[in-house]
């Protein structure tokens, strides 16, 4: 261990620790702005400056490693003044639009200005010459609000290995943008929104579609139904100050009814249905010698990634649409018929933890019912804003139940929300369908947790099934390279975002590793609390096959629930 002194306190730290981390471990807070643990440690913003005895200048503590005998001061007049000056310079070309900014009250720059005691704008310089970019179906780039911290660049390059954006031009003209200043909508961006999740300001944020939903709710001709993704129930409370991972399913339902939705349904229902279709597809490919491994297809950022970067591997993808899209297709056929409503008057809204779901909902081919499957996909953050605008006090709502039949689900549907969940749900069903026996233990812990790539083998009546799970696209790439290299898997789950949907780009800000872990724990709590925990036991899914679809992979399923991909 290395011994050093910070603000007169004796501190010990392992070699390689930064001064910032060592101070944090000793309970000494140093302000930061560009810093993002293990993702963006570049010392560019100069907010975390400290005085190191013997050094010629103040040092950025996030990139200064501890050394034996080091003496650090984090709170001297010089340090405070330098931090403040650096922040004032960052603010000198930042639009003063806080009152109308999408990140108002949740902006790190705003918060830091308050914490560092900035009470006047001493400098106002020229503004960024670049206009906002509205070309993406999921995200809005606003370079005027960019402070060039590079967090988005690092997440896109290192965590997702997509590299859709990078600093372009130089000097005052520097802008974070796609190559050749192309609009984001033309870039290889997968719409995952991890950039928006780490942006300290509103320089990248989700495309706000709340106006379209307010309009539909106010339209007496429209029958507006809503579906809630698995991962939203463990995060929406955070928009109202609740602890991450608190399961708020019943309050979510109550809040949506209060907003005026005609029916409140659950994406978990079609998650169960996905297991029936995808599980049957897996068994068919195993028995008939189809393309293996089969890879899951419910995460739209992942789909765009494989379409862009590994088109030769597309035959491995399941042809199943995602649960979001299956829901839309059924809402405008099965449900429309049952309820006696003209499908052209049904308006389907999704509440998703995901910005790529907006892109998916808009994909040309997603209209199996003869109508747009899903009309609008909102993020968890957008729903939070609507609830606030409506004056709904979320955390004090009494719990309510989903509507029937598209609101009936099992614990297997819930766990879709966390990395490994789709795999676990599929194994629960595949095991019982193939062996004809009841699973002795339905929890598959080998596929749970935040490790980047997880592998295990499951014995199905003498046949060994090799499975793998990846979350975050750098890990997806790792698995695809193994597949290309001939490693023998039968079934793979890939989710675009770190942690799976609980860490989606539309989730409340902040979302970090610890928050992801707590939301995942909430997902597994919700599963354990369900009376039914296997998709094939879902009575509403069984009724759907009996009354409408016939059988898994049948003609109607192909029409409504399956899709194709673009190479």
Residue 205: strand pairing partners: 140
Q: Is 318 a catalytic residue?
A: yes
| Minimum distance from residue 151 beta carbon to ligand HC0 (Å) | 22
Q: Is 360 a catalytic residue?
A: yes
Q: Which residue among 41, 108, 277, 278 is the active-site one?
A: 278
Q: Is 281 a catalytic residue?
A: yes
Nearer to ligand HC0, 230 or 293 (CB): 230
Q: Which residue among 321, 357, 454, 534 is the active-site one?
A: 357
Nearer to ligand HC0, 299 or 538 (CB): 299
| Minimum distance from residue 231 beta carbon to ligand HC0 (Å) | 3
Nearer to ligand HC0, 204 or 502 (CB): 502
Q: Which residue among 138, 318, 409, 418 is the active-site one?
A: 318
Residue 73: strand pairing partners: 51
Residue 309 DSSP SS3:
helix
Q: Is 547 a catalytic residue?
A: no
| Minimum distance from residue 516 beta carbon to ligand HC0 (Å) | 13
Nearer to ligand HC0, 61 or 418 (CB): 418
Nearer to ligand HC0, 31 or 353 (CB): 353
| Minimum distance from residue 451 beta carbon to ligand HC0 (Å) | 19
Q: Report residue 171 as tokens.
A: 């000097």
Q: Is 131 a catalytic residue?
A: no
Strand segments, DSSP code E, in 135-222 are: 139-141, 166-168, 175-177, 204-206
Nearest C-alpha neighbor of 76 from the set 7, 23, 138: 7
| Minimum distance from residue 458 beta carbon to ligand HC0 (Å) | 21
Q: Is 369 a catalytic residue?
A: no
Q: Which residue among 21, 41, 108, 360 is the active-site one?
A: 360
List the strands of the sheet with 49-52, edge to edge: 9-13, 2-6, 71-73, 49-52, 59-60
Cα–Cα distances (Å) from 509 to 63, 102, 134, 384, in that order, read: 25, 12, 22, 12
Q: Is 278 a catalytic residue?
A: yes
Q: Which residue among 78, 243, 365, 389 is the active-site one?
A: 365
Secondary structure of 360-418 as H, E, C letters: HHHCCCCCCCCCCCCCEEEEHHHHHHHHHHCCCCHHHCCCCCCCCCCCCCCHHHHHHHC
Q: Which residue among 298, 320, 354, 496 is the active-site one?
A: 298
Residues in the chain: 567
Nearer to ligand HC0, 140 or 352 (CB): 352
Beta carbons within 10 angstroms of residue 186's beta carbon: 11
Site residues for ligand HC0 per CB under 6 A = 229-232, 267, 271, 298-299, 322-324, 352-354, 357, 416-417, 501, 504
Residue 190 DSSP SS3:
coil
Residue tagged 């195993």 (tokens): 286
Residue tagged 């192909």 (tokens): 558
| Minimum distance from residue 507 beta carbon to ligand HC0 (Å) | 9
The residues annotated as belonging to the active site are 278, 281, 298, 318, 357, 360, 365, 501
């Amino acid at each position: 261990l290395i011994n050093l002194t910070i603000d007169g306190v004796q501190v010990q730290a392992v070699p390689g620790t930064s001064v910032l981390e060592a101070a944090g471990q000793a309970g000494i807070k140093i302000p930061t702005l560009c810093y993002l643990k293990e993702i963006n440690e570049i010392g560019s913003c100069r907010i975390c400056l400290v005085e190191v005895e013997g050094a010629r200048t103040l040092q950025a503590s996030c990139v200064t490693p501890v050394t034996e005998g080091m003496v650090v001061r984090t709170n001297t007049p010089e340090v405070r003044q330098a931090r403040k000056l650096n922040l004032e310079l960052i603010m000198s070309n930042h639009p003063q639009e806080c009152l109308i900014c999408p990140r108002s009250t949740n902006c790190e720059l705003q918060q830091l200005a308050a914490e560092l005691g900035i009470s006047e704008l001493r400098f106002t310089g020229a503004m960024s010459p670049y206009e906002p970019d509205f070309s993406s179906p999921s995200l809005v780039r606003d370079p005027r609000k960019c402070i060039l911290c590079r967090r988005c660049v690092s997440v896109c390059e290192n965590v997702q290995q997509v590299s859709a954006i990078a600093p372009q031009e130089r000097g005052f003209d520097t802008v974070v943008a796609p190559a050749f200043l192309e609009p984001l909508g033309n870039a290889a961006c997968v719409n995952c929104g991890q950039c928006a999740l780490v942006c300290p300001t509103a320089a990248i944020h989700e495309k706000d579609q709340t106006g379209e939903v307010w309009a539909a709710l106010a339209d007496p001709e429209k029958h507006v139904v809503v579906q809630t993704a698995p991962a939203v129930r463990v995060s929406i409370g955070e928009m109202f100050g609740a602890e991450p991972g608190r399961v708020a399913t019943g309050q979510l339902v109550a809040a949506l009814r209060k907003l005026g939705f005609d029916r409140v349904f659950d994406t978990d229902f079609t998650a169960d249905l996905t297991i029936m279709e995808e599980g049957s597809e897996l068994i068919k490919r195993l028995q008939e010698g189809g393309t293996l491994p089969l890879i899951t297809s419910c995460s739209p950022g992942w789909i765009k990634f494989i379409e862009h970067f590994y088109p030769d591997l597309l035959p491995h993808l399941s042809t199943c649409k995602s649960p979001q899209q299956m829901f839309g297709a059924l809402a405008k056929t099965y449900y429309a018929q049952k309820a006696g409503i003209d499908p052209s008057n049904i308006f389907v809204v999704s509440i998703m933890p995901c910005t790529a779901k907006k892109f998916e909902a808009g994909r040309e081919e997603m209209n199996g019912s003869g109508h747009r499957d899903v009309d609008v996909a909102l993020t968890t953050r957008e729903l939070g804003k609507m609830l606030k605008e409506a004056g709904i006090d979320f955390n004090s709502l009494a719990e309510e139940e989903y509507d029937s039949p598209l609101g009936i689900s099992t614990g297997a549907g819930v766990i879709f929300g966390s990395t490994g969940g789709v795999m676990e749900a599929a194994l629960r069903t595949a095991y019982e369908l193939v062996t004809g026996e009841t699973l002795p233990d339905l929890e598959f812990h080998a596929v749970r947790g935040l490790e980047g790539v997880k592998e295990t083998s499951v014995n199905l009546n003498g046949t060994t099934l090799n499975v793998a799970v990846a979350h975050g696209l750098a890990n997806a790439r790792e698995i695809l390279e193994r597949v290309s290299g001939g490693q023998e898997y039968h079934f793979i789950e890939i989710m675009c975002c770190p942690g799976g949907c609980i860490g989606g780009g539309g989730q409340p800000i902040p979302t970090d590793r610890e928050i992801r872990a707590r939301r995942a724990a909430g997902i597994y709590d919700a599963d354990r609390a369900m009376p039914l925990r296997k998709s094939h036991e879902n009575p509403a899914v069984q009724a759907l096959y009996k009354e409408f679809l016939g059988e898994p992979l049948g003609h109607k399923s192909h029409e409504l629930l399956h899709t194709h991909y673009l190479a």
